Amino acid sequence: MSTEFGFLAQVHRTFDRAAALTDCCDGLLAQIRECNSVYRVTFPLKRDDGTIEVIQAWRAEHSQHKLPTKGGIRFSTGVTEDEVMALAALMTYKCSVVDVPFGGAKGGVRIDRKEYSADELERITRRYTYELIKKRFIGPGIDVPAPDYGTGPSEMAWIVDTYKSMSNGEQNAEACVTGKPIEQEGIRGRLDATGRGVFYGIREACSSAEDMKKLGLSPGLKDKRVVVQGLGNVGYHAARHLADGGAVLVGLAEWEGAIANPNGLDLDDVMKHRKETGSILGFPGATDLPHTTDALELDCDILVPAALENQITAENASRIQARIIGEAANGPTTADADEILLERGVRVLPDLYLNAGGVTVSYFEWLKNLSHVRFGRMEKRFDEAAHRSLLEEIGRATGVDVSSTEIPDLGADEEDLVHSGLEETMVVAYHQIRDIEKSLGIDDLRTASFVTAIKKIAISYQELGIFP
Ligand code: NAD
Mutate which of 76, 190, 194 for ligand 1? The one with the most ligand atoms within 8 Å of its CB, which is 194
Q: Say yes or no to pLDDT of 373 above 90.
A: yes
Handedness of CA 294, 281, 246, 421 (dihedral sign): negative
Q: Say yes or no to pLDDT of 24 above 70.
A: yes
Nearest Cα residue to atom 39 of ligand 1: 148
φ, ψ of residue 110 in degrees (nearest 5): -85, 85
Specify the pLDDT at position 202.
98
Nearest Cα residue to atom 18 of ligand 1: 255
Give the atom of ligand 1 at the shortest distance from the alpha carbon of 307.
7
Say how many Å lie between the CA of residue 285 and the centre of ligand 1.
Answer: 26
Please answer whether residues 157 and 184 qualify as being in contact, where contact means their C-beta atoms are separated by less than 8 angstroms: yes
Handedness of CA 387, 389, 390, 396 (dihedral sign): positive
Q: Under the phi-then-psi rule, with left for phi > 0, alpha for psi from -120 to 50, and beta for the rest, what region is 216?
A: left
Mean pLDDT of 148-160: 97
Say how many Å lie between the CA of residue 245 and the centre of ligand 1.
Answer: 22
Say how many Å lie between the CA of residue 124 and the centre of ligand 1.
Answer: 20
Mean pLDDT of 210-227: 97
Burial class (CB in 10 A: 0-12, 13-18, 19+), 81: middle
Give the atom of ligand 1 at the shortest distance from the alpha carbon of 355.
43
Mutate which of 10, 70, 149 for ligand 1? The one with the most ligand atoms within 8 Å of its CB, which is 149
pLDDT tens, 426-446? 999 999 999 999 999 999 999
Say how many Å lie between the CA of residue 229 and the centre of ligand 1.
Answer: 9
Mean pLDDT of 61-67: 97
- Percent of the chain at pLDDT above 90? 94
pLDDT tens, 258-285? 999 999 999 999 999 999 999 999 999 9
Specify the pLDDT at position 402.
81
Q: What is the mean pLDDT of the chain?
A: 96
Specify the pLDDT at position 400.
87
Nearest Cα residue to atom 35 of ligand 1: 329
Q: Say yes or no to pLDDT of 1 above 50.
A: no
Specify the pLDDT at position 223.
97
Say how many Å lie between the CA of residue 439 and the centre of ligand 1.
Answer: 34
Q: Say yes or no to pLDDT of 222 above 80.
A: yes
Nearest Cα residue to atom 17 of ligand 1: 255
Q: Identify which of 130, 82, 125 has the alpha carbon closest to the alpha carbon of residue 106.
A: 82
Give the atom of ligand 1 at the shortest distance from the alpha carbon of 293.
19
Q: At what angle do helices 81-97 and 445-464 cross, to 10 degrees?
A: 80
Single out the catalytic residue among 66, 70, 94, 106: 106
Mean pLDDT of 199-208: 98
pLDDT tens, 67-125? 999 999 999 999 999 999 999 999 999 999 999 999 999 999 999 999 999 999 999 99
Give the atom of ligand 1 at the shortest distance from the alpha carbon of 151.
2
Mutate which of 94, 148, 289 for ligand 1? The one with the most ligand atoms within 8 Å of its CB, which is 148
d(CA 108, CA 297): 30
Nearest Cα residue to atom 22 of ligand 1: 255
Instruction: Indicate the pLDDT class of residue 236, thresholds 50, 70 and 90.
Output: very high
Mutate which of 234, 241, 311, 426 for ligand 1? The one with the most ligand atoms within 8 Å of its CB, which is 234
Q: Say yes or no to pLDDT of 214 above 80.
A: yes
Nearest Cα residue to atom 40 of ligand 1: 358
d(CA 109, CA 42): 10
Known catalytic membership, residue 70? no
Give the atom of ligand 1 at the shortest distance from the alpha carbon of 236.
26
Say how many Å lie between the CA of residue 148 and the centre of ligand 1.
Answer: 7
Instruction: Indicate the pLDDT class of residue 2, thresholds 50, 70 and 90.
Output: very low
Please answer whether residues 312 and 290 qualify as being in contact, where contact means their C-beta atoms are separated by less than 8 angstroms: no
Specify the pLDDT at position 4.
60
Pocket of ligand 1 (CB under 6 A): 72, 147-150, 194, 229-235, 253-255, 292, 306-308, 328-330, 355, 358
Instruction: Indicate the pLDDT class of residue 403, thresholds 50, 70 and 90.
Output: confident
Residue positions counted in the chain: 468
Nearest Cα residue to atom 15 of ligand 1: 255
Say how many Å lie between the CA of residue 235 and the centre of ligand 1.
Answer: 7
Mean pLDDT of 204-221: 97
Say how many Å lie between the CA of residue 308 and the centre of ligand 1.
Answer: 6
Q: Between the CA of residue 151 and those of 41, 76, 118, 158, 159, what are the distances in Å?
A: 19, 9, 12, 11, 11
Say how many Å lie between the CA of residue 59 and the centre of ligand 1.
Answer: 19
pLDDT tens, 160-172? 999 999 998 999 9
d(CA 62, CA 75): 19
Give the atom of ligand 1 at the shortest distance from the alpha carbon of 362.
40
Q: Say yes or no to pLDDT of 200 above 90.
A: yes
